[in-house]
A = this chain, B = another copy of it.
Amino acid sequence: MLGYDFSQPELLQQALTHRSCKGRHNERLEFLGDAILSMVIAEALYQHFPNAKEGELTRMRASLVKGVTLAEIATELSIADYLRLGPGEMKSGGHRRESILADAFEAILGAIYLDAGLDVCKERILYWFSSRLQQITPQQQKDSKTRLQEYLQGRRLALPVYQVEHTEGEAHNQQFTVSCSIEGRAAVVASGSSRRKAEQDAAYKMLERIQDEH
């Protein structure tokens, strides 16, 4: 599935081993793979977009290397079928969890790098990201809060106000509910696993609502 044969298969084994398992797990490889991925994507964007500004490059990279995207690629590569998880994670469906898939994908990159060097690893990364690299543009990457703010500023309207309405759950599993209000309009509410995510989602909903009206 990876399009690569390991000469040290124990590296691949380690990359597929979650820390909930006994023995050598993939956290160190993930650290290495994450750095390699960031670098390869940074260079690809630098070359593909000679006129993009630094902020645009940064936003495009963040969008390409975020957990959701990596978990998508991990799913395309059927990584879930080969993950080794501890019994607790196994029961709770950990092999489908986004963060576990994304981490394993990064660990595999680290493993390929150690097994074969940068050029091979880079070739695999660019292959797996090729359609996403072709589709991405400097403009679309602005987050919803930025887009909402720019939309309002362009119409000389007051900036939105975000407010945490409530939080639930224990520290490691909290849900934040946030409202987004703009002048003369009912607030929208959104929830998420962090304040930032909930705010982004609220901004997204507000944008959709405003744009529907126009």
Q: Shortest CB–CB separation between residue A114 and chain B, in angstroms?
A: 9
Q: Among B30, B35, B43, which residue has its beta carbon within 8 angstroms of that of A43?
A: B35
Q: Among B28, B52, B53, which residue has its beta carbon within 8 angstroms of that of A46?
A: B28
Give how many A residues have a beta carbon under 8 Å from the other chain's beta carbons: 19
Task: Say yes or no: is A36 at the interface (Cβ < 8 Å to chain B).
Answer: yes
Please indicate the chain B residues that have their CB under 8 angstroms from the CB of A30 in the complex: 54
Query: Given A28-B53, A36-B39, 8 other A-B contacts at CB below 8 A?
Result: A27-B53, A27-B54, A28-B57, A31-B58, A34-B42, A35-B42, A35-B43, A38-B38
Please indicate the chain B residues that have their CB under 8 angstroms from the CB of A57 in the complex: 28, 31
Please indicate the chain B residues that have their CB under 8 angstroms from the CB of A36 in the complex: 39, 42
Q: Shortest CB–CB separation between residue A112 and chain B, in angstroms?
A: 13
Please indicate the chain B residues that have their CB under 8 angstroms from the CB of A42 in the complex: 31-32, 34-36
